[in-house]
């Protein structure tokens, strides 16, 4: 009994030290750096949750990331706490530049398999360390969804959009974020898994309570990602993150079983598909390992389905919320885009000619980027970024919101100005240069860059431009006045807001 009490006491002391005392030591250690920001309202275990709660429900959940970048533009590194460990956030363009100089020799991908959706796909190209094998896998995936291959998907993308948009009724408010999720689910599954897969079939899913339900494949993906997020946010899992790996709680056990079931479902439907144009068939037809192919395809699916649907909602909102931008975009779309054109090549040329639409999409990806962080990295030894020492084994993220709102790089970063991406505009330059100095190329990073850039970037940009052009050429719409008046609103991943619109007529 005494031994048990002693062990319990030792365990308790370790937990207290790891989660409270160690955190305060780290804050004291980094307080000497003038270019490091740490929130004054720090709360052990809860981390930035206390900051999010303090800013109120009317502000986008991750507004504080943007606010610090605007108010403290000389901040290069921000330290936040997630559970038991500090996270080092790359906050400035200069820090981002120095960061990428160290990738992959001294900084490399940090496996995220213990947390969030990373547990769905252990060993995929977005999680493993850089190597010739990793590069080969990445290049093969990028080839089949690159710019030369993705153009052939234009009819499929349009068919999916028309199928979903046919259900919309005029003068009724609806959640366009959810509707775009349906569009992107249809597009992504058909491109990756096959046009003939049975998406409406019901599959067995185990809830966090241990109950069994039957849901569609789309619901399966969404619910699993949601449950993984909830599981990682539990206090017991934040205190002891390896509970997630060991599956020692009901919610973790359910998630692990659902992940295993999902793999079986996807392998079965992909192998039964007769669509030889799917990415899965294209890769496995050249004798590539089916499990590795599926692993990398799921990565593209996760990166493409949810973020792209949020981006589409944000683009439509930002266009309509800014009358000057709406007028210019509509004029260009009416002049250059014909939705009745059947030729794929002609359609592509039409999209290429919509230059202001392209700038508008890029500005929306800055202003309302779907992702607030990049995926995680790990320092392979002790490193220095902008003079700040970061220890070996530290977890590092690029803070995309901070890069996109840094007031040293962007003129009036709160405003929605597509001309920022026009080289002839003064908005293309930095605020203090009087129009003489261009922004750092590291100040804009919606798809990451260098070796670890998003493999689906070209496909995603095609989907965004095509669907937005098709939508604007077909529908008149309005957006919620309450949402327009809220300058703190964003529709990024994990936002508490969803874009609400109403179709007022067809063109």
User: Could you tell me which of 66, 95, 1, 75 has the C-alpha nearest to residue 35?
Assistant: 75
> Distance between CA 154 and CA 237 in Å, rounded?
43
- 176-211 tens-digit pLDDT: 999 999 999 999 999 999 999 988 899 999 998 888
**Per-domain residue ranges for the chain?**
2-105+129-180+190-195+302-506
- 295-353 tens-digit pLDDT: 889 888 888 889 999 999 999 999 999 999 999 999 999 999 999 999 999 999 999 99
Q: How confident is the model at residue 143 (pLDDT cuts 50, 70, 90)?
A: confident
> Binding site residues for heme, as ranges?
454
User: Could you tell me which of 319, 304, 307, 301 has the C-alpha nearest to residue 468?
Assistant: 319
> Distance between CA 132 and CA 138 in Å, rounded?
10
Answer for the pair 326, 476: CB distance below 8 angstroms, yes or no.
no
Answer for the pair 373, 89: CB distance below 8 angstroms, yes or no.
yes
**3-class DSSP assignment, residue 161:** helix
Q: Give the DSSP letter string of 263-285.
A: HHHHHHHHHH---TTSHHHHHHT
- 39-98 tens-digit pLDDT: 887 666 666 666 777 677 899 999 999 999 999 999 999 999 876 678 999 999 999 999
Q: How confident is the model at residue 236 (pLDDT cuts 50, 70, 90)?
A: low
Homologous superfamily (CATH) of 2-105+129-180+190-195+302-506 is: Cytochrome P450 (1.10.630.10)
Please give the angle made by the CA atoms of 461, 464 and 468, to the nearest 5 degrees.
145
User: Could you tell me which of 120, 467, 163, 121 has the C-alpha nearest to residue 308?
Assistant: 467
227: left (phi over 0), alpha (psi -120 to 50) or beta: alpha
> Distance between CA 305 and CA 185 in Å, rounded?
6
Tokens of 275: 């669509």
pTM (global) more than 0.85: yes
C-alpha to C-alpha distances, 281 to 134, 148, 272, 288, 388, nearest whole angstrom: 20, 18, 10, 10, 47
> Binding site residues, as ranges?
454
Answer for the pair 77, 388: CB distance below 8 angstroms, yes or no.
yes
> Distance between CA 60 and CA 373 in Å, rounded?
15
For residue 109, what are the β-bridge partners? 377
């Amino acid at each position: 009994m005494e031994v048990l009490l002693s062990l319990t006491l030792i365990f308790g002391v370790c937990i207290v030290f790891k989660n409270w005392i160690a955190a305060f030591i780290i804050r004291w250690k980094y307080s000497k750096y003038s270019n490091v920001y740490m929130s004054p309202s720090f709360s052990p275990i809860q981390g930035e949750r206390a900051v999010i709660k303090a800013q109120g429900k009317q502000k986008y959940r991750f507004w504080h990331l943007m606010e610090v970048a605007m108010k403290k533009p000389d901040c290069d590194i921000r330290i936040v706490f997630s559970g038991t460990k500090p996270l080092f956030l790359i906050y400035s363009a200069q820090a981002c530049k120095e960061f990428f100089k160290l990738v992959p020799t001294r900084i490399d991908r940090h496996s995220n398999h213990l947390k969030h959706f990373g547990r769905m796909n252990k060993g995929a190209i977005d999680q493993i360390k850089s190597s010739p094998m990793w590069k080969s896998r990445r290049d093969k995936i990028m080839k089949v969804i690159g710019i030369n291959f993705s153009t052939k998907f234009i009819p499929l993308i349009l068919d999916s959009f028309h199928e979903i948009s046919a259900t919309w009724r005029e003068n009724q408010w609806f959640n366009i974020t959810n509707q775009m999720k349906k569009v992107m689910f249809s597009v992504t599954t058909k491109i990756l898994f096959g046009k003939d897969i049975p998406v409406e079939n019901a599959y067995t899913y185990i809830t966090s309570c241990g109950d069994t339900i039957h849901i569609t494949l789309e619901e399966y993906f969404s619910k699993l990602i949601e449950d993984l997020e909830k599981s990682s946010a539990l206090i017991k899992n934040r205190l002891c993150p390896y509970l997630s790996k060991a599956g020692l709680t009901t919610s973790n056990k359910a998630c692990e079983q659902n992940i295993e079931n999902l793999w079986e479902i996807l392998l079965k439907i992909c192998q039964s598909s007769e669509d030889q144009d799917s990415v899965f068939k294209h890769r496995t037809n050249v004798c590539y390992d089916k499990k590795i192919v599926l692993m990398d395809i799921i990565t593209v699916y996760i990166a493409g389905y949810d973020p792209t649907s949020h981006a589409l909602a944000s683009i439509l909102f930002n266009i309509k919320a800014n009358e000057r931008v709406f007028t210019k975009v509509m004029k260009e779309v009416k002049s250059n885009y014909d939705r009745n054109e059947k030729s794929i090549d002609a359609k592509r040329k039409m999209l290429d000619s919509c230059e202001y639409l392209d700038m508008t999409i890029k500005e929306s990806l800055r202003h309302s980027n779907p992702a607030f962080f990049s995926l995680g990295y790990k320092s392979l030894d002790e490193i220095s970024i902008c003079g700040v020492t970061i220890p070996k084994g530290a977890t590092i993220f690029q803070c995309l919101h901070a890069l996109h709102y840094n007031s040293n790089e962007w003129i009036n970063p709160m405003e929605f100005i597509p001309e920022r991406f026009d080289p002839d505009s003064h908005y293309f330059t930095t605020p203090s240069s009087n129009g003489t100095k261009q922004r750092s190329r590291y100040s804009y990073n919606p798809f990451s860059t260098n070796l670890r850039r998003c493999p689906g970037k070209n496909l995603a940009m095609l989907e965004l431009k095509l669907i937005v052009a098709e939508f604007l050429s077909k529908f008149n719409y309005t957006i919620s006045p309450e949402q327009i008046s809220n300058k703190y609103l964003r529709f990024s991943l994990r936002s508490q807001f969803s874009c609400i619109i109403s179709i007022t007529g067809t063109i």
